[in-house]
Amino acid sequence: MPLYEGLGSGGEKTAVVIDLGEAFTKCGFAGETGPRCIIPSEIKKPDVAKPVKVVQYNINTEELYSYLKEFIHMLYFRHLLVNPRDRRVVIIESVLCPSHFRDTLTRVLFKHFEVPSVLFAPSHLMSLLTLGINSAMVLDCGYAESLVLPIYEGIPILSCWGSLPLGGKAIHKELEYQLLEQCTVDTGLAKGQSLPSVMGKSLFCPFLFFYGVRTCFVSDLQRGLKIQAAKFNIDGSAERPSPPPDVEYPLDGEKILHVVGPIRDSVVEILFEQDNEETSVATLILDSLVQCPIDTRKQLAENLVVIGGTAMLPGFLHRLMAEIRYLVEKPKYKEALATKTFRIHTPPAKPNCVAWLGGAIFGALQDILGSRSVSKEYYSQTGRIPDWCCLNNPPLEMMFDVGKAPPPLMKRAFSTEK
């Protein structure tokens, strides 16, 4: 637990901040500069060979409830080593998180672990707290998807969001396919064996992620365009630029994986290849900017924030800026966007931990956290948790009788009241 706990905070224990991602979960305490643990979002079942993913949206409620209960129990009693009844909880969530998942997670926290209160905070909004700015175009390049959301004066512009299924998962699939097709493995018995004969038909996902971060990289714009032209090569005239050196990657004490150079820079191009609809990670930002009100575009374009684990690939930010400057000169955007100035902020944390750090900053403001959280008493009386982005719900104070005292921590989520 934090060394400074109880000092200057009226004795109330610091909140637990959880960023439950589809691939990895970041967990720690409010007021700290980084998460205590970053672990895969999965649990091991004795009757299942492969680990079971915790973040799943297409399974029934009871099965999801059991997965989340076991996973959060591991967070509290194996990694954080604290009593969940003593601390508030801040959950960093995506704006596209289904209500089914939020409700199940809330039921696990309140019914099983009996936490005092829960606050669901959008990851894009929390990222701005690390920079001290109110307006930005936030791009979250995660494992399953890339999601962009403009935020102006602290208010998410929900009508202008954009999303594409381009992220770490898409890179892993492309990487696995090329590894199985082109790479060989040296063992103690023989050299140059095919990868499927040694590793099996499917590679384990954590290995792919570790490999991708360690040896893959993003090429610059001109080189990337040549790689894409050679990949499709419709007329047969395009030539691929000279590939990077091959890499010998040790798998364990006996196996060495030979990674051919063209794989290292080609798998990441899937993020920037425009499909039939001419969409890519770079066009997400420009399309969202075009949909924003015209008087907000200049400020949003000059305040770009990129978060998510996929953004940690070497050369990603440089390539993203080059793609934006290249695309903005095309007629589709040149007529709609008057601004040509784009700037990317550098948050005080690695891209995969920026949203968590923002939640840790917000969770350290205990007076504000108490007024904006949903308490266990309120949840036990209503059985529901308000959606932070729903404007049609009546205020929480109006759901109770006038003569009856409302339960504590009853203020509306993300309001300006205390």
CB of 352 closer than 8 Å to CB of 39: no
Closest CA to 17 of 28, 25, 7, 9: 28
More confident residue, 263 or 416: 263
Per the structure block, which two tokens stand in for 355? 């949203």
Q: Amino acid identity of 153?
A: E
Tens-digit pLDDT profile for residues 101-144 = 999 999 999 999 999 999 999 999 999 999 999 999 999 999 99
DSSP-derived letter for residue 194 is E
Ranking 47-61, 89-103, 402-416 by mean pLDDT, the lowest is: 402-416
Tens-digit pLDDT profile for residues 257-308 = 888 888 888 899 999 998 788 899 999 999 999 999 999 999 999 999 999 9
Residue 199: pLDDT band (50, 70, 90) is low
pLDDT at 208 > cutoff 60: no
Tens-digit pLDDT profile for residues 308-319 = 999 999 999 999
**What is the rounded CA–CA span in Å between residue 360 and residue 28?**
8
Tens-digit pLDDT profile for residues 358-395 = 999 999 988 888 778 889 998 988 888 876 544 344 44
The contacts found for 377-381 with CB under 8 angstroms, 24 or more apart, are: 377/407, 377/408, 377/409, 378/406, 378/407, 378/409, 378/410, 379/106, 379/110, 379/118, 380/110, 381/407
pLDDT at 414 > cutoff 70: no
**What is the rounded CA–CA span in Å between residue 137 and residue 324?**
13
* Mean pLDDT value across residues 190-219: 68
pLDDT at 67 > cutoff 70: yes
CB of 167 closer than 8 Å to CB of 143: yes
Q: What integer pLDDT is reported at residue 6 of this predicted model?
A: 44
More confident residue, 158 or 400: 158
DSSP-derived letter for residue 252 is S
Q: What is the dihedral of CA 47, 100, 124, 391, to 10 degrees?
A: -170
Tens-digit pLDDT profile for residues 131-187 = 999 999 999 999 999 999 999 999 999 999 999 999 988 988 888 888 888 888 888
Share of the chain above pLDDT 90, in %: 54
- Rounded to two decimals, the pTM is 0.86
Helix, strand, coil percent content, the chain, rounded in steps of 5: 40, 15, 45
DSSP-derived letter for residue 111 is I
Residue 189: pLDDT band (50, 70, 90) is confident
Q: What integer pLDDT is reported at residue 415 of this predicted model?
A: 35
